[in-house]
Amino acid sequence: MPKLDEFLRIKGAAQYVGVAQNTLRNWEAAGKITVYRHPVNNYRLYRISDLDELLAAVDEPVVENATPRRRRAK
């Protein structure tokens, strides 16, 4: 069992990542982030290492199309 100091509750996790608490709830519902539950009070817990991975993924550039779009002539 991991130690509870490796986790943040939803308010702390939202501040850590820089998003609203509802955004974390939406990401949980969409399966984008793993959420754990406190064994006593059932609060949402977010593992700090998972949040770090999420932040690292955001920093990676996304290359969708290498060719630039042309503007339409008016």
**What is the DSSP code (8-state) at residue 4?**
G
pLDDT score recorded for residue 60: 73
Euclidean distance between CA atoms 74 and 56, whole angstroms: 41
pTM for the full predicted model: 0.74
CB 24 within 8 A of CB 53: no
Mean pLDDT in each 10-residue stretch from start to end of the chain (74 residues)?
A: 86 96 95 92 95 87 65 66
pLDDT score recorded for residue 3: 83
**What is the DSSP code (8-state) at residue 23?**
H
pLDDT score recorded for residue 59: 79
Which domains, and CATH codes, for the chain? 4-59 (1.10.1660.10)
pLDDT score recorded for residue 4: 84
The set of residues, in sequence order, having a beta carbon less than 8 Å from that of 21 and lying 6+ positions away, is 10, 11, 14
* CA proximity to 41, closest of 10, 19, 16, 12: 10
